[in-house]
Structures are given as structure tokens and as C-alpha cells.
Amino acid sequence: MNSPKTRFRDAFLNGETLIGSFLKIANTQPAEILGAAGYDFVVVDEEHAPFSRESTDRIILACKAWDIAALVRVQGPAPEMILSVLDCGADGVLVPHVDSAEKARAVVSAARYAGGARGYSPTTRAGRFGGARMQAHTEAQDARVTVIAMIEDVAALDHLDEIMVVDGLDGIFIGRGDLTVAMGQSSGTAAPVVEAVGMITDAARRAGKAICVMSSSASDMRSLAAQGATAFITSSDQTLLKSAAAQGLEEARAALAST
């Protein structure tokens, strides 16, 4: 992969194993720390965390400085939501609640120039602030921007094959949390959810689409890898901070209790 890790799309499409983390904290330092640690990518979570366009922009810049790919889970499929993060230089988007081929095509159209309807402006970070000529800019962006549809609705299960074959869609993210709630279950290990995940991975493999998942346990990751997943979001900056804080506090109390 070229440095910095902005060739995430090449690795994703080639089925390389990629490890990433969600970002929930609207600050650059979590991204910088994960980049320094050697993570392959982060996902700025605009859907569920308090990011502004400006904070997302700063984090994308920090990712470029620390050699880590920056994806953004946008709030929704609106073209302006997708365009804003791509103009900031994001390496790709995760778009929530894609439950039909029509939605998938609209998402791809918003993210692509050729065959799509992405708004054009070269005076952005993505366009080297006016330094990239039109054809070079549009071709480079279409080659590097990764488009990932989040499959997390019961309605999507009836349209998996149609969604997967949408041209320009690079892969899918299985939103097991939303899917679990939507199916009226209380655990991602419930039989209906496991069956649905199998349906999704089978459809993705048939269409040759890359699969991204969130997974935090070794056994779960191995199971999903066996089903074809290659990109793994293993945690979030909040979870990592919470875990380290709890461990540090426990160790400090134990040490002081023994004195």
C-alpha cells in the first residue's frame, strides 16, 4: 500500500486483512495515537458521535500526517453529507441503512465522478487546493475513494443480491447491532441474527464484494474471517480509553492496598 495509507481501497478490494477502530472523540489525538500504533484505518463516526464538519476535517488531516486511512461513517446517504467528507480528503465512506439497490446506486452516484454525480470543486484538500487539474483530480478520486454500504436492516435481507451487484460499490459493512435490535433480539449471537449475517456474507461473496465488520473477540473474528470478512473494526477510541482507565485504576488500587 502506498504511503500514507490512502490506498485503503486497493487493500480492501484485494482482500488484505485490515484492522481499524471507530472514532467517537472529536479530537485529533485518538487518530494520531492509533496511527502511531500501526492501525490500518479509522472510521470517524459522524452518525453516532458529536462531530462537526470542522472536527472531521482536522481528524482527516491528522490521519494523513500519521499514515492511517480515514473513513467516515456519515450521518446518512444525502449527497451533501458524502461530498463534504470526500472534499476534506476522506479515503472513503460508510453509509448507514442501505436497504435497497436504489439506495446503493444513489450512494455510489454521490461518491463517484465517472458515471456518478459527485459535486466538483478542485479547491479542496482532495483537489490539492486547486493544484490538481480536472481530469487528474476526478480520475484519482474515483480510484481512491472507497464506498461501503452498511447492511443493518431487515428490509435489506430481501434485496441482498441486488444491492451487492451495484456497480461502484466496493463492499459492505454488517451492522450487527442495528440488525439485532431490528430483529427484536437481545444478542448478536441469537440464531436469527447469525442466520442473517450468513445470508449477507454469502451474498457478498457471490458478488465479489469486500466485507467489513465490527468484532472484538478472537473467536468472533475467526468466525467472520471464515465467512469472508477481511476488514475488522475492533474497538473505538472511547472503549480503548475506558478499558485502559479501568485497568489502570484497578492496578493502582491493588498496588496501594498491598503497601
Which tens digit of pLDDT belongs to each residue from 103-132?
999 999 999 999 999 999 999 999 999 999
DSSP letters spanning 112-155: -STTS-PPP-SSSTTTGGGTS-HHHHHHHHHHH-EEEEEE--GG
Clarify whether 97 is annotated catalytic.
Answer: no
pTM, entire model: 0.95
How much is the average pLDDT of 34-49? 97
Closest CA to 165 of 100, 230, 79, 83: 100
pLDDT at res. 2: 52
Catalytic site residue from 48, 97, 137, 159: 48
Domains and CATH numbers, the chain: 7-258 (3.20.20.60)
pLDDT at res. 259: 76
The residue type found at 158 is D
Q: What are 54-86's pLDDT values in tens digits?
A: 999 999 999 999 999 999 999 999 999 999 999
pLDDT at res. 5: 54
Cα(232)–Cα(245) distance, rounded to whole angstroms? 24
Confidence of residue 3 (pLDDT cuts 50, 70, 90): very low
Radius of gyration from C-alpha coordinates of the chain: 19
Mean pLDDT of the chain: 96
